[in-house]
């Protein structure tokens, strides 16, 4: 038939509950279960079918379902409560930030990341990095930080994973309709849509800017899929991590450069810039360009940028760090670096990494480290690993001195703790536990929860999970063409009374998803024990280009279909945040066995631990800090291995031994009430210790105090009076650079050290230091004592030397004493490092280090 035109009719939202529309446009509801329950109560089937997307839900819901709830008093009462919580959340003035930094009137904290995992219905994330960024933004909103975030609006998101009947991973993409997402075009001061113009390979690329509200925080998203662009540039924002190297560099140029321009267009003037992972590092090139426009030279611009830039590195796997061949950077930036006032060499030095094979690469991580005054890893161990991995960026430094600190990752508690447990906490912790997430006293009340109550809820969550996995497996096997009889068999999968272990994460090879299958015979005995059986549930995507990762999936799939493992090993397809919530709250135990020390932090175990799903994990990432002997189990030892085969063997045996000897007996040590008191005790210890520390409220307070605020203060100082301090500081640094190599140090230890010395004995040191053109105020002379284990430096302590007199022109005498506090082997020396009153911390310019010749 021919039509004049087409229209879509949607139900009319009754006035009485019209606030649902407003709520649907702010992701606040993603961490408010009472709100989600409203949608579920209107039409549960539709709510599931839309993948919990309120925007689509309101388009598709029936008029009848809406009219029905409007006549339901209990629904309306709950609606009113939710709507008023929403309103008061948005208007709240008494936030943590406002009460901690009362007179703050500087700009926003600008946060850049290539992916954000905010909710399953908004698929602009792939895994842990995105979920962490999503949790970071939600928490910035909760704590009232002046915060703004920048990312991409991907037309096709990350891939949808399907497994075929042989266990091969298929990747599917959906072309999303942005009107199904709670995003709106960002508007300028004339209320016009915003388009940003930039050049990539000398071609004009236009970027449309979108905005989504995450509670009180705006997240700006970049989109090049618009008519004005060449077809190939329209693809730039199609897929997350979807393209080749060329695509990746273009996307990173877009994120960094268009991202900065975007914030300028919406009138944001950030006081600190946070690069979450190296993908965002180009943003600081654009900032250098801006400073050059204001008249600063290249070196001054670099100092201006460093003063208030933060960089968080997320991966200790060298291959996981983006780097581009120098010739590629040349092609993309050869018209750009002159706008920075930089020479070619100066430009390349910002990111140059000469590999062992002699290749010259431009490393996004080095670029980020060099342009950030403050950098961090994401757990204590990862901080240490990162200092080792990147020490070549600071010549003359021992790894222990490399200025990369750490802030251990957490998760957003209200997003990740199941609704049922949250209700239980309301009853037993305190009514305002959500505002005191990092208070261990609140969490100590978990001990007051009766075993029976917590177990009843745990069992309910477990049966929710089993129902969920039935649905998922049915869909999969129906697609594979199984018969109705075969499909009915699926109901037998998953037993609520069996110890259930979950393993779900990206299938990167270092995560060793198949480690537990190393000894299949032994595993078979464990899983199929008549009285104390165990079941395993796996899920996770492998990157479409990661063939070894896909092989792991296939292997697990094949094992899961072996008759001897029937219904005992299950692999689910298309792991996402929704499935993650079911798993981390529904399993009894959460298994994680990465090849230490490759897991920067890991966060899924934190989600599990908060829900009382007990961690059984390698002592890597967050678990080294989290494990206390009573709140879960550790796989292997607190050490690293050179021999990977040996490491696999030791770790897998550790898994079997502990399952057989401790974990399974504890789980099945049940009373006549049907549960094990000993097990529940570990659950409670897990909830207490994991919830009180590994949450993003604690994490963001740490970021604020350790990184954001110091950077904000420094930036403000540096930029005041038309960049007076930046200019002074740069000038001083240039003098230092010119003269540094002429520094000469002659040091004499007055105390006899030819024999062993006693701990605590004072040792005197004299030094004559020649400082041509520098002067003693610009340096700190220090004695350093390095503690050695196996000839390796494990820690360094320093003691300042005091100026005694100028012996002759430019030659100064210094004196000092030190003592050794602990027995052991030490190396000591004297050295000179830079010192300037505006250096925010001692290690700020650690590329200036001079030792005696
Ligand atoms: C939490 C989460 C992750 C991160 O898992 P780890 O491997 O523990 O870092 C990845 N994907 C999804 C969907 C998640 O929810």
Out of 60-74, 639-653, 813-827, give the one with best mean pLDDT. 60-74
CB of residue 494 inside a 6 A radius of ligand 1: no
pLDDT at position 761, please?
86
CB of residue 128 inside a 6 A radius of ligand 1: yes
> Is the pLDDT score of 396 beyond 90?
no
Atom index in ligand 1 nearest the CA of residue 603 equals 8
C-beta atoms surrounding 488 within 10 Å: 11
pLDDT at position 349, please?
95
Q: Report the distance separating Cα 334 and Cα 197, nearest Å.
A: 18
CB of residue 377 inside a 6 A radius of ligand 1: no
Q: How far is the CA of 163 from the centre of ligand 1 (A)?
A: 20
Q: What is the 8-class DSSP label of residue 429?
A: T
> Is the pLDDT score of 752 beyond 80?
no
> Is the pLDDT score of 758 beyond 90?
no
Q: Report the distance separating Cα 658 and Cα 661, nearest Å.
A: 5
At 620-659, the pLDDT tens digits run 999 999 999 999 999 998 888 899 999 999 999 999 999 9
Ligand 1 pocket mutation, candidates 119, 128, 618, criterion most atoms within 8 A of CB: 128
Look at strands 217-223 and 309-312 and give their pairing. Answer: unpaired
Atom index in ligand 1 nearest the CA of residue 576 equals 13
Strand ranges for 73-182 from DSSP E: 109-112, 147-152, 160-163, 169-172
Mapped onto helix, strand or coil, the DSSP state of residue 812 is strand
Once rounded to an integer, what is the mean pLDDT over residues 578-589? 98
Ligand 1 pocket mutation, candidates 30, 126, 131, criterion most atoms within 8 A of CB: 131
The residue whose two tokens read 């430009």 is: 347
Q: How far is the CA of 622 from the centre of ligand 1 (A)?
A: 13
CB of residue 127 inside a 6 A radius of ligand 1: yes
Residue 30 to residues 83, 86, 719, Cα–Cα distance (Å): 14, 12, 39
Q: Which residue from 564, 500, 507 is spatially nearest to 537, judged by alpha carbons? A: 500
Burial class (CB in 10 A: 0-12, 13-18, 19+), 237: buried
Is this prediction's pTM over 0.95? Answer: yes
Q: What is the 8-class DSSP label of residue 254?
A: I
CB of residue 575 inside a 6 A radius of ligand 1: yes
Atom index in ligand 1 nearest the CA of residue 411 equals 1
Dihedral (C-alpha) 414, 415, 421, 422: value to the nearest 10 degrees? 30
> Is the pLDDT score of 290 beyond 80?
yes
Q: Domain residues of the chain, as ranges? A: 15-91, 147-268, 271-412+703-738, 414-484+493-694, 743-850
3-state secondary structure 589-613: EEEECCCCCCCCCCCHHHHHHHCCC
pLDDT at position 845, please?
84
The residue whose two tokens read 């490759």 is: 598
Once rounded to an integer, what is the mean pLDDT over residues 165-170? 97
Superfamily of domain 414-484+493-694: Glycogen Phosphorylase B; (3.40.50.2000)
pLDDT at position 687, please?
98
Question: pLDDT-derived band of residue 750, with 50, 70 and 90 as boundaries?
Answer: confident
C-beta atoms surrounding 486 within 10 Å: 12
Q: Which helix (H) or strand (E) holds 123?
A: none
Say whether 414-484+493-694 and 271-412+703-738 share the same fold. yes
- Least trusted range by pLDDT, from 191-200, 268-277, 394-403, 441-450: 394-403
Q: How far is the CA of 785 from the centre of ligand 1 (A)?
A: 41
Look at strands 792-800 and 499-504 and give their pairing. Answer: unpaired
Q: How far is the CA of 505 from the centre of ligand 1 (A)?
A: 5
Spell 267-296 as b/e; 16+ CB within 10 A means b.
Answer: ebebbbbbbbbbbbbbbbbbbbbbbbeeeb
C-beta atoms surrounding 73 within 10 Å: 7
Q: How far is the CA of 603 from the centre of ligand 1 (A)?
A: 6
Once rounded to an integer, what is the mean pLDDT over residues 72-96? 98
At 398-428, the pLDDT tens digits run 899 999 999 999 999 999 999 999 999 999 9
Atom index in ligand 1 nearest the CA of residue 128 equals 4
> Is the pLDDT score of 257 beyond 80?
yes
Dihedral pair phi/psi, residue 520, rounded to 5°: -65, -35
CB of residue 620 inside a 6 A radius of ligand 1: no
Question: pLDDT-derived band of residue 319, with 50, 70 and 90 as boundaries?
Answer: confident
The residue whose two tokens read 């949250």 is: 422
Residue 83's Cβ-side half-sphere holds a number of Cα atoms within 13 Å equal to 14
The residue whose two tokens read 């409670």 is: 684
Once rounded to an integer, what is the mean pLDDT over residues 470-490? 94
Q: Report the distance separating Cα 76 and Cα 495, nearest Å.
A: 38
CB of residue 540 inside a 6 A radius of ligand 1: no
User: Tell me, which fold does domain 271-412+703-738 have in CATH?
Assistant: Rossmann fold (3.40.50)
CB of residue 577 inside a 6 A radius of ligand 1: yes
Q: Which helix (H) or strand (E) holds 67?
A: helix 63-70
Q: How far is the CA of 127 from the centre of ligand 1 (A)?
A: 5
Q: How many residues in total does the chain contain? A: 853
Once rounded to an integer, what is the mean pLDDT over residues 185-212? 96
At 23-50, the pLDDT tens digits run 999 999 999 999 999 999 999 999 999 9
Q: How far is the CA of 152 from the centre of ligand 1 (A)?
A: 20
CB of residue 604 inside a 6 A radius of ligand 1: yes
At 821-837, the pLDDT tens digits run 899 999 889 999 999 99
pLDDT at position 335, please?
87
Residue with CA closest to ligand 1 atom 4: 128
Distance of CA 530 to the CA centre of its chain: 42
CB of residue 609 inside a 6 A radius of ligand 1: no
CB of residue 594 inside a 6 A radius of ligand 1: no
pLDDT at position 274, please?
98
Is there a contact between 169 and 547 (Cβ–Cβ < 8 Å)? no
> Is the pLDDT score of 369 beyond 90?
yes
pLDDT at position 318, please?
80
Question: pLDDT-derived band of residue 847, with 50, 70 and 90 as boundaries?
Answer: confident
**Token pair recorded at residue 563:** 């008759």
**Token pair recorded at residue 473:** 């497996």
Q: Report the distance separating Cα 206 and Cα 199, nearest Å.
A: 9
Dihedral pair phi/psi, residue 782, rounded to 5°: -145, 155
Atom index in ligand 1 nearest the CA of residue 126 equals 11
Residue with CA closest to ligand 1 atom 11: 127
Quote helix, strand, coil % in the chain, to nearest 5.
45, 20, 35
pLDDT at position 1, please?
79
Mean pLDDT (the chain) is 95
Ligand 1 pocket mutation, candidates 580, 602, 609, 610, criterion most atoms within 8 A of CB: 580
Residue with CA closest to ligand 1 atom 3: 128
**Token pair recorded at residue 264:** 């300028």
Percentage of the chain lying above the pLDDT 90 cut? 91
Q: Give Cβ neighbours of residue 103 (< 8 Å, ≥ 6 apart).
A: none
Look at strands 217-223 and 203-214 and give their pairing. Answer: antiparallel
Domain 743-850 is in which class? mainly beta
> Is the pLDDT score of 755 beyond 80?
no
Once rounded to an integer, what is the mean pLDDT over residues 580-584? 98
pLDDT at position 754, please?
72
Q: Report the distance separating Cα 797 and Cα 837, nearest Å.
A: 22
Q: Report the distance separating Cα 790 and Cα 811, nearest Å.
A: 38
Q: Report the distance separating Cα 56 and Cα 60, nearest Å.
A: 6
Q: What is the 8-class DSSP label of residue 179?
A: G
Dihedral pair phi/psi, residue 533, rounded to 5°: -75, 165
pLDDT at position 638, please?
84
CB of residue 314 inside a 6 A radius of ligand 1: no
Q: Report the distance separating Cα 324 and Cα 454, nearest Å.
A: 52
Angle 489-494-496 (CA atoms, 0-180°, nearest 5)? 130
Q: Report the distance separating Cα 375 and Cα 277, nearest Å.
A: 10
Q: Which residue from 94, 744, 699, 780 is spatially nearest to 376, judged by alpha carbons? A: 699
Mapped onto helix, strand or coil, the DSSP state of residue 212 is strand
Q: Give Cβ neighbours of residue 356 (< 8 Å, ≥ 6 apart).
A: none
At 659-713, the pLDDT tens digits run 999 999 999 999 999 999 999 999 999 999 999 999 999 999 999 999 999 999 9
> Is the pLDDT score of 846 beyond 80?
no
> Is the pLDDT score of 161 beyond 80?
yes
CB of residue 131 inside a 6 A radius of ligand 1: yes
Ligand 1 pocket mutation, candidates 118, 505, 552, criterion most atoms within 8 A of CB: 505
Once rounded to an integer, what is the mean pLDDT over residues 145-172? 97
Q: Is 151 left (phi over 0), alpha (psi -120 to 50) or beta?
A: beta
Q: Report the distance separating Cα 468 and Cα 257, nearest Å.
A: 43
Spell 791-811 as b/e; 16+ CB within 10 A means b.
Answer: eebeebebbebeeeeeeeebe
Question: pLDDT-derived band of residue 484, with 50, 70 and 90 as boundaries?
Answer: very high
Residue with CA closest to ligand 1 atom 1: 604
Residue 49 to residues 44, 52, 61, Cα–Cα distance (Å): 9, 7, 11
pLDDT at position 100, please?
97
Q: What is the 8-class DSSP label of residue 326?
A: H
Once rounded to an integer, what is the mean pLDDT over residues 744-750? 87
């Amino acid at each position: 038939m021919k039509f004049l035109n087409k229209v879509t009719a949607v139900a009319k939202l009754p006035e009485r509950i019209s606030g649902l529309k407003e709520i649907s446009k702010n992701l606040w509801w993603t961490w408010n279960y009472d709100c989600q329950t409203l949608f579920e109560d209107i039409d549960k089937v539709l709510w599931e079918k839309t993948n919990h997307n309120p925007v689509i839900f309101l388009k598709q819901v029936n008029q009848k379902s809406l009219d029905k709830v409007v006549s339901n008093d209990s629904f309306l009462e709950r609606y009113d409560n939710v709507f008023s919580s929403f309103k008061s959340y948005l208007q709240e003035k008494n936030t943590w930030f406002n009460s901690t930094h009362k007179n703050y009137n500087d700009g926003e904290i600008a946060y850049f990341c290539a992916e954000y995992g905010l909710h399953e219905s908004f698929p602009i994330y792939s895994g842990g990095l995105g979920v962490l960024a999503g949790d970071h933004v939600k928490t910035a909103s909760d704590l009232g930080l002046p915060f703004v975030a920048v990312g991409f609006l991907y037309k096709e998101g990350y891939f949808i994973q399907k497994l075929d009947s042989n266990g091969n991973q298929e990747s599917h993409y959906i072309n999303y309709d942005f009107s199904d997402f709670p995003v709106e075009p960002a508007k300028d001061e004339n209320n016009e849509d915003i388009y940003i113009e930039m050049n990539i390979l000398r071609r004009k690329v236009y970027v449309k800017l979108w905005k989504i509200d995450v509670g009180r925080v705006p997240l700006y998203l970049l989109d090049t899929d618009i008519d004005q662009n060449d077809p190939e540039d329209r693809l730039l924002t199609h897929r997350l991590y979807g393209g080749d190297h060329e695509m990746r560099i273009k996307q990173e140029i877009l994120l960094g450069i268009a991202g900065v321009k975007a914030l300028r267009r919406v009138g944001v003037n950030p006081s600190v810039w946070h690069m979450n992972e190296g993908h965002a590092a180009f943003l600081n090139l654009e900032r250098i360009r801006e400073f050059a426009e204001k008249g600063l030279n290249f070196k001054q611009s670099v100092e201006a940028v460093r003063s208030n830039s933060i960089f968080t590195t997320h991966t200790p796997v060298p291959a996981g760090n983006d780097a581009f061949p120098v010739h590629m950077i040349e092609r993309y930036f050869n018209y750009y670096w002159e706008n920075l006032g930089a020479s070619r060499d100066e430009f390349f030095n910002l990111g140059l990494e000469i590999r062992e094979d002699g290749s010259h690469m431009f490393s996004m991580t080095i670029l980020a480290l060099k342009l950030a005054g403050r950098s961090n890893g994401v757990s204590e161990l990862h901080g240490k690993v990162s200092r080792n991995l990147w020490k070549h960026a600071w010549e003359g430094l021992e790894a222990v001195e490399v200025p990369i600190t750490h802030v251990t990752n957490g998760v957003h508690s209200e997003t990740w703790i199941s609704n049922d447990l949250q209700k239980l906490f309301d009853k037993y912790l305190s009514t305002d536990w959500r505002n005191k997430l990092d208070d261990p006293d609140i969490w100590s009340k978990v001990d007051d929860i009766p075993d029976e109550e917590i177990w009843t809820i745990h069992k309910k969550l477990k049966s929710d999970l089993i129902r969920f996995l039935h649905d998922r497996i049915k869909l999969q096997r129906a697609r594979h063409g199984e018969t109705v009889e075969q499909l009915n068999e699926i109901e037998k999968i998953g037993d609520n009374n069996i110890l259930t272990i979950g393993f779900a994460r990206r299938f990167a090879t270092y995560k060793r998803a198949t480690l537990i299958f190393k000894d299949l015979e032994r595993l078979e005995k464990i899983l199929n024990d008549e009285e104390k059986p165990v079941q395993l549930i796996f899920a996770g995507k492998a990157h479409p280009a990661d063939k070894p990762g896909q092989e792991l999936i296939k292997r697990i799939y094949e094992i899961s279909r072996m008759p001897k493992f029937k219904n005992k090993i299950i692999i689910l397809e298309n792991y996402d945040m929704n499935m993650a919530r079911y798993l981390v709250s529904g399993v009894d135990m959460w298994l994680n066995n990465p090849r230490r020390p490759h897991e920067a932090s890991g966060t899924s175990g934190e989600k599990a631990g908060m829900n009382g799903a007990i961690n059984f994990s390698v002592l890597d990432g967050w678990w080294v800090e989290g494990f206390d002997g009573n709140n879960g189990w550790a796989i292997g030892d607190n050490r690293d291995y050179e021999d990977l085969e040996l490491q696999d063997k030791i770790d897998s045996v550790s898994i079997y031994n502990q399952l057989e000897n401790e974990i399974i007996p504890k789980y099945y040590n049940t009373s006549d009430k049907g549960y094990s008191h000993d097990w529940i005790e570990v659950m409670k210890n897990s909830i207490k210790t994991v919830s009180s520390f590994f949450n993003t409220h604690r994490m963001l307070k740490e970021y604020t105090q350790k990184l954001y605020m110091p950077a904000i203060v420094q930036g403000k100082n540096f930029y005041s009076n038309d960049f007076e301090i930046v200019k002074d500081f740069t000038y001083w640094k240039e003098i230092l650079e010119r003269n540094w190599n002429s520094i000469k140090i002659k040091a004499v230890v007055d105390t006899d050290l030819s024999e062993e010395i006693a701990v605590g004995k004072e040792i005197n040191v004299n030094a004559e230091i020649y400082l041509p053109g520098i002067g003693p105020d610009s340096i700190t002379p220090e004695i350093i004592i390095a503690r050695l284990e196996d000839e390796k430096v494990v820690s360094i302590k320093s003691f300042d030397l005091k100026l005694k007199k100028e012996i002759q022109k430019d030659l100064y005498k210094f004196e000092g004493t030190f003592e050794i506090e602990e027995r052991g082997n030490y190396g000591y020396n004297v050295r000179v490092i830079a010192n300037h009153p505006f250096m925010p911390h001692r290690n700020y310019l650690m590329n200036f280090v001079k030792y005696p010749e």
